[in-house]
Structure 1
Amino acid sequence: MEEPDSGVTLAELLAAFSLATDLGLGQPMEHLLRSWQIASRLGRRVGLPDSEQPALFHTAMLSWVGCVADGPEVTASFGDDIAFRADSYEADLGGLSGMAFFLGRAGRGQPLPGRLRAVATLAATGGGRVMRGIQGHCLVTSTLSDQLGLPPETSEAVRQFFARWDGQGVPRGVRGEEIALVVRLFHVADVVEVHHRRRGVDAAVEVAKARSGSQFDPALVQAFCSAAVDLLPGPADEYDAHELFLREPGLACRLSDDDFDAALVALADFTDLRCAARAGHSRGVADLSAGAARLLRLPAGDVRMVYRAGLAHDVGLHGVPSAILDKPTPLTATEQERLRAASYFTERVLARPPALARLGAIAGLAHERMDGSGYHRGVSGQAIPLPARILAAACAFRELVEPRSHRPARTLKEATGVIRSEIAAGRLDQAAADAVLTAAGAGTRRRVVGPAGLTPREIEVLGLIARGAATGDVAGRLGISRKTAGTHIERIYAKTGASSRSTATLFALRHGLLGELDDSPGS
């Protein structure tokens, strides 16, 4: 029997998600869509077969997604990760110019001694830490491509995103025409779009010529420069990306309901990588919301909608610097406003097409409160639909039972008490919050059987490192030596095939190892 149609194509979903990626790059929304348009036009000019246009689109939409996974690492080395990426468009990151760029931004936001240490470390390692971060970026992005069911050629293409024509990128030594044509096209389009938007056609041509033979394919640069005015979007060149999808047969196929859910889960996992302490948050909120909706006997369609909204409700966090998400001290008023804006970004990212717009309307209400004290709209009472009230209660509960940079996780008993006080104060809907607490199980815990041969202790360690704990932190939390903690981490990486915190986190998420709630004493 044919599976129900979700009404959404994968292209539409990835286009929406790309708007959130734009925020993480420090660019206006639709930067990646405009870059794809430029690359597509240039591709047709140089003979890219129509059959490869879908691969070009997927490469454009996915290549930067891995940047969310290295947000905490970029912040540790260079300060505000979003500002760092925005600035990076102005520099050729290869060779001496790249090292000068990294050194000039090392330790940003730290006191002078911290900046000096960061510069010294970067200089001493020759940028090795940066290169390892780039490799991790490529790896997790190709993982997403595989999870979305895209062809192996697309996974290979996104792994080449940080390769350079001159062979000085990552993977090291991959150069020239060894780099897929769709990647070389997007390399040019991604950069020239920014320079064109900021300073016009001449600036786009200038940067393309300056990087010809180093970052960019010289033949593509020549083709671009000879027709830049025609290839770049003009002032009146408004376009409907969703209409363009319909003209591309390879992008117009709609997802089944189950495939749509699976794609949302994959994208939710990458959203949660934005902050180490939030690993598994979106999945947890989605499952809890759906369980509560069933207890309230909502129609099956509403149960599915609130589940999907739970998966998507934090997509706007891509627009919030990791330094704010991971800050261990109280946020300033300005930082609070930037965090509150994430709900607006979520709604805006999911505004189109209609099938996503309803999802976005619910997801954007995740932080509203019945008394009007929530954000970003400040709506209250009956203006908040029941699915959104469930989502708000589920999100609030999961936030409490998960660790954050400024506090440890609350026990189930403590979290239940806080939710009860929120009900009494009129901030959470009683029926919705009661259903969420019931769905949470009030301290029950299912037995975890470790995949890949992980022992119970290794599962415990995996949960800690997935949420950002370093080796010393693991040792302190578990009361073991640093050497023992390091041995556990090495075995976890060996058994799971992980090479970084990000890939270990994705393994844990795929196997349901981060959904457990703490039932420590007092719960």
Structure 2
Amino acid sequence: MEPADRDAGIDLAELLAAFSLATDLGLGQPMEHVLRSWRIAERLAQHVDVPEEQRRSLFHVSMLAWVGCVADSPEVAASFGDDIAFRADSYTADLAGLAGMGFFLRRAGRGGPMWHRLRVATTLVRTGGQNVVRGMQSHCVTTSTLAERLGLGQDVVTALRQFFTRWDGRGVPNGVGGDDIAPAVRLLHLADVVEVRYRTGGIEDALEVARARRGRQFAPGVVDAFLAHAPEVLAEAGTGIDPLSADPRLRRPLTGGELDAALEAFADFTDLRCASRAGHSRGVAELAAAAAGSMGLPAGDVVATRRAGLLHDIGLHGVPVTVLDQAGPLSATDRERVRLSSYYTERVLARPAALARLGAIAATAHERMDGSGYHRGLSGASVPMTGRLLAAACAYRAMLEPRAHRAALSTKQAVDLVRDAIRGGALDGDAAEAVLAAAGNGSRRRVTGPAGLTPREVEVLVLISRGARTGEVAERLRISRKTAGSHIERIYTKTGASSRATATLFALRNGLLDPLDL
């Protein structure tokens, strides 16, 4: 069986639940807000007349409904400042009619000079908020496109396109309301808001907002069911990701190929957060994986490096676009917010177990060999080779991309800066040279592993460090016992090792063994 056809050890539901934690960051909400909203909607569905097929789609609609916010983040930031703070504040107001316009006007141009605030406010009034409407439309189209890429049904795609509708027909698309709205969306409209209001203001606040928006934003039948069963519906709504796989309706194990396709989709959406980052995650993943293969890392490590590369910037959902796209120097506070992004990456991917290793690798993409990186400030042997490759690939790729504070660098400039970082001790020389070679820039020396180990010798070293004897090495690599013995002798000679133990220490010191595997 080909690797792409094997069970990847993760369900689509588990993957979507993990990605929803990144969405929570972008909404300015504590992690598991989206999951709690789904559980509230799921419990409400038991008290209203919702067809079974709509209940089956409720989970996927809930997990993806807010994903599109990354697509319009630059536009939101241009009009309203900090996009994360704007979305967090939006839970306090009904966004239709005069109340909605008042909310937008109070936040128009926030964080900018007075002339900018006046210009944004004037445009909002003159156009009737058409830029906001276009942002909502873009959000829905982008989110439904992701659902299609993930192979979800047409019911999910259709529901996601209705996310900004209202029961009174004053949402987006204009005039769509009432019973034309998919039952899953009607449930989620209420659940998304009351989860926040219950968490921040208690059950009375949740009941109050439901009553106030009944027949306007919220479907009357859904509100009535909520008012009648609120304590039951709200009780212990946040029980985490782990129980998801226990629900047979959500079971959809992914093959390796399906997991790769899903991670590529999430990588593309993550990069939408800033226009200048389009394609960054894919580029880093491909470079790092090619370099890992050229260095002779085990096949599993090559795959993990690529997947971690696709995910390494997922924590940027927790950093406002106003910080990511700032042209001038960042303040100490904003620098800290950027440094936290790799922490968010690790936390978002901490569950389930199949993602935890990828998250741990992805979180090292900004570490440096001299300890100057983030978020842990790891150095030397503490950084696995997978992380060293990601760090070099991320640094090189970012140099070739424009940023708010500089234009894109030329290939020569990027290569020179990478080699400066090698000389300065920030980047691992073997890993960085392998990345440059994978990018087609050649290398001043033949790309090898540490101490001049060939790719095959690296494979053998990893195997013996993990306890394999000569015969087992021969069997695993499908070579003769004599050839395996010759490889081991050359490894000992090149590394100065005298035993398996000292060879293992060499492998650890040079990042060839991932501590997570030991």
TM-score grouping bracket, smaller chain normalisation: 0.7 to 0.9
Query: Is contact 2:241–2:352 with CA below 8 Å preserved after alignment?
Result: no
Deviation at 1:325, TM superposition (A): 0.7
Deviation at 1:55, TM superposition (A): 0.8
Matches for 1:3-82 after TM superposition, within 5 Å: 3-82=5-84
2:365 corresponds in structure 1 to 366
2:101 corresponds in structure 1 to 99
C-alpha distance in structure 2 between counterparts of 1:211 and 1:302, whole Å: 52
How big is the alpha-carbon RMSD for the aligned residues of Structure 1 and Structure 2?
1.3
Secondary structure class of the residue paired with 2:47: helix
Secondary structure class of the residue paired with 1:423: helix
1:242 corresponds in structure 2 to 242
Secondary structure class of the residue paired with 1:45: coil
Query: Is contact 1:54–1:248 with CA below 8 Å preserved after alignment?
Result: no
Secondary structure class of the residue paired with 1:220: helix
Deviation at 1:51, TM superposition (A): 4.1
Matches for 1:52-451 after TM superposition, within 5 Å: 52-234=54-236, 239-243=239-243, 245-442=244-441
C-alpha distance in structure 1 between counterparts of 2:131 and 2:238, whole Å: 41
Matches for 1:479-490 after TM superposition, within 5 Å: none
Counterpart of 2:30 in structure 1: which amino acid?
P
Structure 2 residue ranges without an equivalent (≥5) = 444-518
Secondary structure class of the residue paired with 1:187: helix
Query: Is contact 1:412–1:443 with CA below 8 Å preserved after alignment?
Result: no
Secondary structure class of the residue paired with 2:9: strand
Deviation at 1:208, TM superposition (A): 0.6
1:490 corresponds in structure 2 to none
Secondary structure class of the residue paired with 1:46: coil
1:484 corresponds in structure 2 to none
Structure 1 residue ranges without an equivalent (≥5) = 445-523
C-alpha distance in structure 2 between counterparts of 1:251 and 1:108, whole Å: 42
C-alpha distance in structure 1 between counterparts of 2:134 and 2:60, whole Å: 24
Deviation at 1:152, TM superposition (A): 1.0
C-alpha distance in structure 1 between counterparts of 2:240 and 2:20, whole Å: 15
Query: Is contact 1:34–1:233 with CA below 8 Å preserved after alignment?
Result: no
Counterpart of 2:365 in structure 1: which amino acid?
A
C-alpha distance in structure 2 between counterparts of 1:359 and 1:54, whole Å: 29
1:505 corresponds in structure 2 to none
Secondary structure class of the residue paired with 2:215: coil
CA deviations 1:224-280 (Å, max 9, x no partner) are 01110100034xx6624321x223223122100000000000011000000111000
The list of structure 1 runs, each at least 4 consecutive aligned residues, that deviate by more than 4 angstroms after superposition, is none
C-alpha distance in structure 2 between counterparts of 1:371 and 1:326, whole Å: 27
CA deviations 1:119-153 (Å, max 9, x no partner) are 11110111011101110111111100000110011
TM-score by length of 2: 0.84
C-alpha distance in structure 1 between counterparts of 2:333 and 2:315, whole Å: 17
CA deviations 1:183-219 (Å, max 9, x no partner) are 0000000000000000100100100110000100001
C-alpha distance in structure 1 between counterparts of 2:71 and 2:223, whole Å: 31
Counterpart of 1:81 in structure 2: which amino acid?
D
Counterpart of 2:122 in structure 1: which amino acid?
A
Deviation at 1:298, TM superposition (A): 1.1
C-alpha distance in structure 2 between counterparts of 1:350 and 1:51, whole Å: 30
Counterpart of 2:242 in structure 1: which amino acid?
H
Query: Is contact 2:144–2:161 with CA below 8 Å preserved after alignment?
Result: yes
C-alpha distance in structure 1 between counterparts of 2:207 and 2:47, whole Å: 17
Deviation at 1:49, TM superposition (A): 4.2
Matched residue count? 441
Counterpart of 2:248 in structure 1: which amino acid?
P
C-alpha distance in structure 2 between counterparts of 1:9 and 1:193, whole Å: 26
C-alpha distance in structure 2 between counterparts of 1:153 and 1:333, whole Å: 46
Secondary structure class of the residue paired with 1:227: helix
Query: Is contact 2:12–2:254 with CA below 8 Å preserved after alignment?
Result: yes
1:465 corresponds in structure 2 to none
Query: Is contact 2:291–2:431 with CA below 8 Å preserved after alignment?
Result: yes
Query: Is contact 2:14–2:245 with CA below 8 Å preserved after alignment?
Result: no
1:449 corresponds in structure 2 to none
Closer, same or farther in 2 for the Cα pair 1:395/1:276, shift >3 Å?
same
Counterpart of 1:123 in structure 2: which amino acid?
V
Query: Is contact 1:8–1:355 with CA below 8 Å preserved after alignment?
Result: yes
C-alpha distance in structure 1 between counterparts of 2:105 and 2:240, whole Å: 41
Deviation at 1:74, TM superposition (A): 0.4
C-alpha distance in structure 1 between counterparts of 2:370 and 2:379, whole Å: 5
- Give aligned-pair identity as a percent: 61
Larger Rg: 2
Counterpart of 1:224 in structure 2: which amino acid?
F
Query: Is contact 2:162–2:185 with CA below 8 Å preserved after alignment?
Result: yes
CA deviations 1:269-303 (Å, max 9, x no partner) are 00000011100000000010111011111111111
Closer, same or farther in 2 for the Cα pair 1:231/1:199, shift >3 Å?
same
Deviation at 1:48, TM superposition (A): 2.9
Secondary structure class of the residue paired with 2:232: helix
Counterpart of 1:246 in structure 2: which amino acid?
S
Secondary structure class of the residue paired with 1:14: helix
